[in-house]
Structure formats: structure tokens, C-alpha cells
Chains A and B, each alone.
Chain A
Amino acid sequence: MRVVIGEDEALMRGGLTLVLEQAGFEIVGAAEDGDDLVRKALAHAPDLLVTDIRMPPSHTDEGLRAALEVRAARPDIAVLVLSQHLQRRYASELLEQRSAGIGYLLKQRVANVEAFVADVRRICAGGTVLDPEVVSTLLRRARRDDDPLHRLTPRQLEVLGLMAEGRSNAAIAERLTISEKAVVKHASHIYDELELPVSGDDHRRVLAVVRYLAV
């Protein structure tokens, strides 16, 4: 797996490189600003692009803009955006184009190396991974009384959240210590309540959920 990293902070870039290389990824390029990142990603055509949001020269959102630009040009390159602060809008912008191979995580998730590497592999495999923090923000978001989410039970909301994080039914079952069958039952109930089309495709299901959440 070939990776291009966008991170202006040398220490963090080193840590990230170390973690990914130890997990067997090959770092083919590292950029310190948005333009350089786009250039290197398009030149190396890696399997994965990992980038910070805030980078030089303006220190605003060039990392995210670079990732979106690369995605638009090469939809086959998986993208993982790391950030210190998560925003619903960024999640929707990332998922708007195509949901396959998208990740949006807090930077500190890198420290839990095993979980992080597992997430990275899922993203590379075309999965969608949203940070639990984003998901909980989305779920906690205050809604009007007529909002369909109010019709879900707390357990169903939990399942919905884990689905948004990109977990498989098996993983959800394990996390909630319920049977996989129960998870499937919850999921179909959620689709019914939210009037979402049933689909066997794992990440399209996630996309539908997240799109709904991100409105």
C-alpha cells in the first residue's frame, strides 16, 4: 500500500510515517502545504492520501481543499483527513463526492496504533470511517420535535452511530454484546423509521445514514 502524507508539523509527520511504515505501508511522498500535496498525490498516484486540514501558507483549510481536489481528479485514491477539531460540514463535504474510501478522524487517534491501522486498512479497502466524535456530535445534535430521529430508541441510535463510524454488523454486535442477528434487526428498523432504501452494499448504507445525519 503506497501512501502520500500531508502534514506541516515535522514531529507529527515523523510519528505518522513511523506508525504506517511499521504497519507495512510505503510512504512515497510527504508534503508540507496544500499545493505540494496535490502535486505529489497526482504524481505518485498512491493508494491512500493522509492529510492534516490546516497547513501553510494560509493555515486555514488547505489540507481539506487539497484532498477534495485530489479526490475529484482521482476518485480511486482513498483519503484520510486528520484534524484536531471535527466539523460536521467537513464530513459532508468529504462524503459528498463519493463515499468509498473516505476517513475523517481526530489526529490523536493515531496513538491507538492498532485501531488506527485497522481504520486505515478499512479506508483503503473502500470503507468509510468517521470519528466517533463526529458521529456523536451528529447524533447529539438538537433536533426539532418532528425529526424522525426522535422515533429511534437509544439502542437503535447506538447502532446507527456505529454504522456511521463504518463498523460492520459483526463489529457492532461485538461492541454492543448482542447477536449479529439483533444488529440486522435494529438496522432494518432504522431504515424503516428513517425511510432509507435497503441495500446490501455496506458503505452505501453508511453513506445513506451519514447523508441523512449530515443534512
Chain B
Amino acid sequence: MRLGTPRSTNARSLAQAGAAIALLAGVEVVLLVDGPGEPTWIVVLFPAVACAYLAAGVLAGLRRPHNRTGGLLVAGALAWLVASLGNVEPPALVVVGVVCATLPLAVVVHLLHGFPSGRLRGRFSRATVAAAYFVTLVLQAPLYLFAPSGLPGEPLMVADSPGLAEAGHWVQDVAGTLVMVATSVLLHRRLRAASPAQRRVLGPLAAYGIVAVVFVVLAAQLADRVLTGYQEERVVVQLALMAGVPLAFAAGVLRGGFARMRDVEELGAWLGADEGGRPTLSAALAETLGDRSLELVLWVPEAGGYVDFAGAPVTLPSGDVERPVVEIRRDGRRIGAIAYDATLIADRSLVEAAARMTAVALDHERLTVELIASRDQVRRSAARVVEAADDERRRIARDLHDGLQARLVVLAIGANGLATDRELPDAARARATGLRTGIEAVVDELRTLVQGVMPAALIERGLSAATEDLADRMPLPTEVDVDRAVSHAGAKLPPAIELAGYFVVAEALANAVKHAQAHELRIHLARPDGHLRIEVSDDGVGGAAAGAGTGMRGMADRIDVLGGRLTVTSPPGGGTRIVAELPCAS
């Protein structure tokens, strides 16, 4: 459990911070009740909102330890406590409260930008959030520097200048409006890029956050100028709206639209399910975590990289905030990784939980993929062996054909010269003639040998000519039907395919002659899409089996190595039909 330690540390520090803030809230309530001015029940609402933030933050933080929204909500609670200090008695605390009066609004903007992970993504987002803090902390200053705050002795005011205060307020309004416009634009952009699932959560949340902030600010301004008679009602509505913010965010993070703990439990059940009926592992993960773009990849130590389930190499993004990667480990070994969409799955811990649960199954899948890869490797190496053997065949055939044969013929010419030399005794001439005919017999044998190693017709004219030549030498009437796609001059097949095809025809014909008790044989060569199709049929007794006889097995092996297929149809009494299909790009 790689992540056990940081997780519990986070939970502990969160709990400690929560307890501390709760204590502060309690103290503040006491201070407020003792405080001046306004009716007690309204001032107590401020720490109540802070408590709403605190509760939501702690809940979200504990359930989603790697999501920063929880921490942000806790910080929001602190901001509310600080902002409401303006209503207490001790002047030092009031100063802090006055300075931080609008800070909670900036926290809301921060939450809006950070959702769902709690992390800010992109420069524009970060700049806008920084501007929000600037507006609430710095541009707030003219309000207390140039106007009375109602504190005894006005420690903050440097000059009572209603003009400057008014101008500062105006600047703050404009800047604040710009921040909200920028936030709206950005969220709108994110909404458009989001999937329907994301939109269902992000849309209402963004709308609520923006409306809450704008309403709070507008209501305050309207109250100052128009609705002066409804102070209490206005404050209550504002506070209610603001109290809704942490609850909405916490709900958004926990529901996530994305994932629930229950789903991960279901994943566990799936992993235990019968292998035959289950969808692929990555599909199951994507379904469970609610991210269709989720990638599950396997680690191949030999290659030092990731591959997908088909064995193709995959490059994962590194350090991309939008698309984080969670490693999957088993017994300390890296076995794979999950890359996911951070806007869809806000909570990294969820993916990590899924990673732990999938580890065993993934290791199993990995072995399967390795097995498939090694099978392909074996096939490729077998193909290479066959190819090397074929090259050797060609070389031997050429050497025998070109070199040896010529030398034998020249020797025979020499022997003939002796046989016709009138100066030699008759006995010697007779022996020379015997020598010549002997050499000629060797040449005949050599020709048969070369023909078996690499048929002349195949080398000179290709498969259709070689098939015809074979048919010419059959003791049974043999019909040869070659499609133009195979016979025309440009239809050169790869040498390996051509040779395999020839052996198929030769072996099938030999079998038919030996075992089928046939009267007629038929060969058909065709070239359906990307394949060479060889069909050899007879009208014999049937009952032949694909694996019977070494010749047939050798033929099947050759076809298999080339990735082809061999079918033998041989019902008793119904003749035999052998069909070989070899892949060859046309």
C-alpha cells in the first residue's frame, strides 16, 4: 500500500486543522455575542457560515485525501472567521476583520477555478484567482484608509477623504467585475470542452458560484444606496447564499459525477467474475471511474516502456495536470499505469484505489499479452527459419544448375571425344561411350534433384507455370484453372508465398494420386482480396485428415508460419478438397 502513509498524514493534519478552526469559531462566537452593535443572532451567522465551510472541507478532505478542494474549503472557513472579526469588540481583531472583509469572495472564485481537483489549471486561471485575492485584499484598502471604519480612534484611516474612498471603491468594483467576467469566460470554455457527464456537475456549480458572488456584491451596493431599510434580510440572504457554496462544492467533489466508492467496490466484484463473460479490463475501469478516455497500459520491463493490450508501444503524458498518470504496482514491481482525465476524475485517490484492485488482474492480462507477443515472435522466427532455408534451397539449386551441370556436360563432351577418336582401340572407345552415357545419366539425376529442391518452372515463370508443369507430369488427368490475377505477367507473388503455394499443390496432388483412388484432379489458383487461394480437389474416396501424413503436416506448418490457413474437406466417398489461403499483399 504505497499511498497509505501520505493518506493518513493528510487525514490527521486535516482533522487537527478542523479542530483548531472549530475552536476558533467557538471563541469568536463568544466574542461576537459580547460584541457591540448589531443583533446577536445575525452576527453569529458569520461563524455559522465558517462552520459550514469547515464541515464541508473536512468531509471532502477525509473522503478525497488527494483532492485539494477539501483543504480549500477549510481555508475558506478560516477566511470567514477572519472576515467576521469586524464585528467583535477587541480593536486589534477588528482591524484584521476590516482588512479581510471581502476575502471570502476571493476564496469562492478560487474554488470555482480549482474545481474539481482543487488545483488551478492554466496560467489564465491562476492569474484570475491571483487577481481575485488582489481585489479583495489590496483594492479593499482605500475603503478603510480614506473613510472611517467606526473603530475608536480610527487606527487604519490615514485621511478622511470621501472622494478617494469613493474612487477606490469604484476601482475595486471594476476590477472585481473583470475577475468575475474572466471567471465566467473560463468556466464557459471548460463547460464547452466538458463531456455531458462533467457538464451535469460543473454547470450548476459554476452558475451557483458566480451568481452567489455577484449577488453578494450587488446586494451590498444596492443596500448602501437603495434598500437601506432591509439590512437584516439582505445579510441573511447573503449569508445563506455563501453558506451554500461550500456545501455545493463538497457535494460536487464527493459525487464527482465521476466516481463513487461503491463503484470501486463493484470493480472488485468484476475482477472476481468469470473470465468468459467479462469485458476488457480497461473498459471495465473506464466504466467504473466514469472516464471513457481512461487508458490502461502495461509495463514491459524488457522494452523499458508501456504497451497497450495489443502489444503496441504507448507513450504516456508526463507531468500533465489535465492528464495525470497513476502507476500500478504489484509486490513492488511496476506492472502498468492508468492515465486519466483530471477534469473527469477529480480524485486521484480513487484511481489509486482502482490501480491497487486491478493489479492482480492486470498482471494476469500482462502475462496473456506477453504470451501472444511471444507466439507472434515464435511465428516470426519460424518464418525467418523457413525463409533462410528457402534461400539456401535457391542457392543450392542455382549452384547445381549453373555450375555442376555445365561441368558434367563438358565432361561428357570430352568422353564423347574419346569415343569418336579413331586412333583409340575399339575397347577404349566403347568404354568412353559408356562413360558418356553414365555422365548423361548423372545429369538426369541431377535434374530430378534440382527439380525437387527448387523447381525450374517456379524460378523461371512463377507459380502458375510450375503448377501447369506439375499437372503435365501427373498420371491422372489434371485440370488446371488459373485466374488471371495469378497468371498475368505483373502478378509476381512473394517468393515465400510462391514456394509454399507450390509445395501445397505438389503435396496435395501426390496425396490424391497415392490415396484418393481418384479419376480426375483439379487445381484452382485464385487471388481473392489480399490472399492467394489454392484449391486442389479430386473425385476420389475421401476420408483424408488434415494432420495425417508428414507431407500434409509439413504443408500445414509452412502455411501456418506464413499466417495462412489450410482446410481439408474430405467426406467419405465425397472426394477430397484441400484449400490453402495465404496472405499476400497485392
Contact = CB atoms under 8 A, between A and B. Distances in A.
A5 to B, nearest CB: 13
Given A9-B406, A142-B478, A89 B413 contact: no
A111 B434 CA distance: 12
Interface string A118-145: 0000000000000000000100011110
A9 B402 contact: yes
B368 to A, nearest CB: 46
B19 interface: no
A110 B406 CA distance: 11
B456 interface: yes
Contacts of A142: 474-478
Contact of A59 (B403, B459, B472): B459
A89 B468 contact: yes
A200 interface: no
A15 B410 contact: yes
B416 A111 contact: yes
B457 A108 contact: no
Contacts of A110: 409, 412-413
A28 to B, nearest CB: 21
Contacts, number: 94
A161 B402 CA distance: 30
Q: Interface extent on B, as a size class?
A: 35 or more
B391 to A, nearest CB: 14
A15 B412 CA distance: 10
A61 B398 CA distance: 14
A15 B473 contact: no
Nearest to A147: B477
Contacts of A112: 416, 436, 440
A164 interface: no
A9 B402 CA distance: 7
Interface string B435-470: 010011001100100110001110111000100110
A141 B474 CA distance: 7
B420 interface: yes
A25 B37 CA distance: 138
A18 interface: yes
Contact of B415 (A12, A60, A111): A111
Interface stretch (A70-78, A80-88, A185-193): A80-88
B371 to A, nearest CB: 43
B410 A14 contact: yes
A141 B456 CA distance: 19
B398 A113 contact: no
B330 interface: no
B456 A85 contact: yes
A203 interface: no
Contacts of A144: 477, 520
Main secondary structure of the interface of B (DSSP, over half): helix
Contact of A114 (B409, B420, B465, B477): B420
A61 B416 contact: no
A62 B456 CA distance: 13
A107 B409 contact: yes
Interface residues of A, number: 31
B440 A111 contact: yes
Interface in A46-98: 53-54, 59-61, 83-85, 87-89
B407 interface: yes
Nearest to A61: B460
A11 B410 contact: yes
B405 A107 contact: yes
Contacts of B415: 111
A95 to B, nearest CB: 16
A111 B459 contact: no
A84, A88, A113 — most chain B CB neighbours (10 Å): A84
A114 to B, nearest CB: 7
A11 B406 contact: yes
Given A12-B409, A15-B413, A84 B476 contact: no
Nearest to B459: A60
Contacts of A113: 413, 416-417, 420
Contacts of B402: 8-9
Contacts of B465: 87, 89
Contact of B472 (A14, A54, A114, A137): A137
Given A9-B402, A141-B472, A144-B520, 14 more contacts: A11-B406, A15-B406, A54-B459, A59-B459, A84-B447, A85-B451, A87-B456, A87-B472, A107-B409, A108-B412, A110-B409, A110-B413, A111-B412, A114-B420
Interface of A: 8-9, 11-12, 14-15, 18-19, 53-54, 59-61, 83-85, 87-89, 107-108, 110-114, 137, 141-144
10 contacts: A9-B402, A12-B409, A12-B410, A85-B451, A87-B456, A87-B465, A111-B412, A111-B413, A142-B476, A142-B478
The 8 A-B residue pairs with the shortest CB-CB distance, nearest first, are A111-B412, A85-B456, A12-B406, A61-B460, A15-B410, A9-B406, A108-B443, A11-B406
